[in-house]
Amino acid sequence: MHPRYRLGYIIAEDPSSYQIPTIEPVHIWNSSNKDIVSLRKNLLRQWIFASIELWTVIFLISTIYFGSGSNPSKYTDNLDVNIIDYDGDLAGYYFTNAFRQTASGNSTLHWCYKDSSDFNHNVDDTQDEVQNGKVWAAVVLRADTTRLINQSFAALANTTTTLISPFISTLPILVIYGDGRNTFTVNTYVLPPIRSAIAKASAQYGQYLRSTLIHNLSSSANSANNYTQQLFNTFQIGSLLVDPLSASYQNIHPGSPLV
């Protein structure tokens, strides 16, 4: 066939006969090619500037988020904290008394003593005022705390019963707060005085329980008592003697996306 004819057609050839171009891969991080070196320098510079900008933005946002580490008075004028005693017995007495004795740390922080009837006797309802921003936190002493603690101690003294643990299944005190409102204010002005009041309440009630327990055990001392059993029971509910009013903390509106 004449070669001119052939040009009009696309001749299908065996693809494996094509030459595969051999291109050396260029490594941007270790190539010594002049262009690549300057490209590399440029990229690094851009990357560093971009990171600095990014961190500056993150820093600015987080300072706004955390309240800039300062407390504008609009945040701290009225730091109201609800104190609610659902127990209404001996534990409740130690609970409210400790708050009355505990300086709120800042004159703008106020303990507001409320009755459980203000919240339909329902612990869940105490969240609402924290949620709505009416108060900065709510501190609740759960109902039946004294009764359950009394039961635990009665069982301790009763030598026919072997205690496994205290009768209390949930921690007696619940602290509800939301640091999303202002993390700095909550962690600096609101929570520390609450913690110290709870620690005081627990220490004073614990001391009362220890001294009445000793009194009860010594007055009931007779040969019929199994002291081994009583000692064993004492160890089982030791946490009640040390820290009867322990608390759980519930952050219903966490402020920081970083933690």
Ligand X SMILES: *[C@@H]1O[C@H](CO)[C@@H](O)[C@H](O)[C@H]1NC(C)=O
Out of 94, 153, 167, 177, the only residue in the binding site for ligand X (CB under 6 A) is 153
- Kindly write out the interface string for residues 213-252 of this chain, putting x where it contacts ligand X by CB under 6 A and - elsewhere: x--x---------x-xx--x--------------------
Q: Considering only CA atoms, which of 214, 217, 83, 233 is closest in space to residue 156?
A: 233
Residue 140 and residue 113: Cα distance in Å, rounded? 10
Nearest CB to ligand X, comparing residues 161 and 165: 161
Compute CA 87 distance to the chain's CA centroid, rounded to the nearest angstrom: 25
Which bin fits 160, alpha (ψ -120 to 50), beta or left (φ > 0)? alpha
Part of the chain binding ligand X (CB under 6 A), chosen from 28-36, 147-155, 163-171, 197-205 = 147-155
Part of the chain binding ligand X (CB under 6 A), chosen from 93-101, 146-154, 194-202, 242-250 = 146-154
Burial of 114 (0-12, 13-18, 19+ CB in 10 A): middle
Out of 31, 62, 97, 108, the only residue in the binding site for ligand X (CB under 6 A) is 108
Q: Least distance in Å: CB of 165 to ligand X?
A: 16
Q: How many Å is the Cα radius of gyration of the chain?
A: 35
145 binds ligand X (CB under 6 A): no
Spell out the residues 6+ positions from residue 148 whose beta carbon is closer than 8 angstroms to its own.
Answer: 166, 167, 168
Q: Considering only CA atoms, which of 39, 49, 66, 26 is closest in space to residue 182?
A: 66
Nearest CB to ligand X, comparing residues 17 and 73: 73
- Report DSSP letters for 27-72, one per residue: PTTT---HHHHHHHHHHHHHHHHHHHHHHHHHHHHHHHHTGGGS--
163 binds ligand X (CB under 6 A): no
Of residues 52 through 91, those in contact with ligand X by CB under 6 A are 71, 73, 76, 89-90
Which residue's beta carbon is nearest to the bound ligand X?
153
Q: Least distance in Å: CB of 84 to ligand X?
A: 18
Residue 176's CB is within 10 A of a number of other CB atoms, namely 24
168 binds ligand X (CB under 6 A): no
Compute CA 173 distance to the chain's CA centroid, rounded to the nearest angstrom: 15
Q: Least distance in Å: CB of 132 to ligand X?
A: 23
- Kindly write out the interface string for residues 18-57 of this chain, putting x where it contacts ligand X by CB under 6 A and - elsewhere: ----------------------------------------
Q: Least distance in Å: CB of 50 to ligand X?
A: 38
For 73-144, where are the alpha helices, taking DSSP H only? 73-76, 90-101, 127-131
204 binds ligand X (CB under 6 A): no
Nearest CB to ligand X, comparing residues 131 and 225: 225
- Binding site residues, ligand X, CB under 6 A: 71, 73, 76, 89-90, 106, 108, 146-147, 150, 153-154, 157-158, 160-162, 209, 212-213, 216, 226, 228-229, 232
